Structure 1
Amino acid sequence: MRTTITSITIILGLTSPAVLGGEAIRGDLAQLQGRWSATTGAKKQVQVVMTIQGRDVSVAIKTPTGTDIQVTGELKLDESTSPRSLDWTKFTGPDEQPLPEVAAVYKVEGDTFTVCNGGFLGKRPREFKPGDGVFADVVVFRRLPSDKAAATPAPGENSSIATR
């Protein structure tokens, strides 16, 4: 009996949608769970690996000179806008240094997550093209292969419901 209860608990845990603050993670936020990679910078020499768990984001950056930088923060999505909007909030860099918020637009297409950032304290872009200023660029992330299963919605989950 004890084995049966343990098995049921494990199965339910594997098939239930992720939960954030007592609510199921749905929509684009559910699709974004997991690890993503991109190259960015003027010569596409900066390597970025981003992990999204719930609304929490952890980013590992490796520069062409070999410097490793870790930043963490949160993302806030608004699926009701066109294009859809994203805010990078509560980010801290090395030594817990707070970073300015960045307004962005995004789209998710299969295993591709495209973000156009407005730069530090910049205006939200209206289209997917690079802007002026630091981090005002278009970045195309690709899901890392081991995380493809993590983004599959649970049976019966409505992935079109906006999460804010």
Structure 2
Amino acid sequence: MSLPHSSAAVNDEYATGRALPHAAQDRWMRPYRPGPWRVATAALALMLASYLLLAALIMALAGGVSGAAGVLVVGLVVIAGTLRLLRVGVWLSGKGVRQVGYFGTVTVPWGRVTSVRTAQQPVKVLGLPRTVQGQALVVSRRGGQPLRTLVTDHNADFLGRIEAFDIAADAIESWAAQLR
């Protein structure tokens, strides 16, 4: 039994970076998937959180309620931090471009975006202090400084995945060209 449409055609539409006709442009969406480094870090942090929650349960059953409460709070903080880690990146909608960092978020309406381009520059490897020469997506805004670079070919989403970085950069650039 054949399907009425080809999933390959849908994947080709995503690869071009153009918004699909049925995609709601009023929702915030990330134009790329979280990378393996980000997902692996989140998985390890959630595994740590599960051990902490289990330890809190054992401590509470053993009668150490104050210690269990402290371990429970630490476990919940680890879960909240992991969820925030998974949201870090660039998000797009018909309203503008949103750059979500670990500790802050910047939203720029499309009317204030002057250019979105890929540039060769020193970039951090996995957000660590070490820098190497690489590609970064630079978003310039009218009347202000360029946004802090979060999307590079050496960050947690694209390290070792140059093709995925190129596709994501092209998608973000095409959104900017269509909606500016």
Structure 2 length-normalised TM: 0.33
Structure 1 length-normalised TM: 0.35
Q: Choose between structure 1 and 2: higher helix proportion.
A: 2
Larger-gyration structure (1/2) = 2
Q: Choose between structure 1 and 2: higher strand proportion.
A: 1
